[in-house]
Every structure is written in C-alpha cells, then in structure tokens.
Amino acid sequence: MFKRIKNWYQQRKKSALFEAEVTVTDKDGTITVAYPDGTIQTILWDKMESIEVHTNDSGPWGADVWWVLRATDCFCSYPQGATGEDALIPKYQALPGFDNEELIKAMGCTSNREFICWHRK
C-alpha cells in the first residue's frame, strides 16, 4: 500500500515539476512560452484568434489541463501550472466576450475535451 502511494506521489511530483519548468510571459504585445528542452513558442496578442482550454485524462500524474492560444498561422500551448500562468489568466478574462463558464467547465473536466473560452469577433 505504501509503495503504491509513494509511486503515485513520485509520478505527480515529476508532472508538477515539468509544469512549473514551462514558462509563459507577456511582454511588448507578445506571449512567449518557453519549454525546458529549449522550445520557444510565441503569439502576438493582436493576432490571437482564440483561447482554448484542452483537458485530458492523464491526471493526476500527467499535465491534464492545457492552455491553447491560436492565431491564423500559429499557436502556443502550455500546461496549467506553468510559471507565469497566474499573471495571464486575468488578462484573458478581461478580453471582451471571454467565457468564464467554459473555463469553469474545463477546470472540472477529467476527460479529453476542448473548451473555447474566447474567440475574436
């Protein structure tokens, strides 16, 4: 029993470390996502077409909630728990037409789904 709990804890700790190692920043009209392997993704605020939350059934061991920011020709994605995420959520919510009800549904979801929280009109 204790071995199973220890294994669960170690898997969750590894996932949480990955999530925190991903960094998302907002500077000069650009959102930048940096992954620990050196991958960089960027999107311009004024080109962003939608903000989505994708959920999956990998939790609690895996990164089961992802933010997906889409433009016509690119996208950025980062896991919930990424460093800097907390500073961006209020900015998303301040966008005209941001759907907080969809965000609430997404945060309660444990299956493979996509929630569109904002779409440029």
In this predicted model, what pLDDT tens digit does every residue of 65-75 receive, in sequence order? Answer: 999 999 999 99
Of the segments 6-10, 55-59, 89-93, which one has the largest average pLDDT value? 89-93
Residue 33 burial class via C-beta count within 10 angstroms: exposed 0-12, middle 13-18, buried 19 and up: buried
For the chain, give every domain's residue range.
2-119
**Sorting pLDDT into bands at 50, 70 and 90, what band is 117?**
very high
Alpha-helix residue ranges (DSSP H) falling in the chain: 2-21, 85-93, 100-107
For the whole model, what pTM was predicted? 0.84
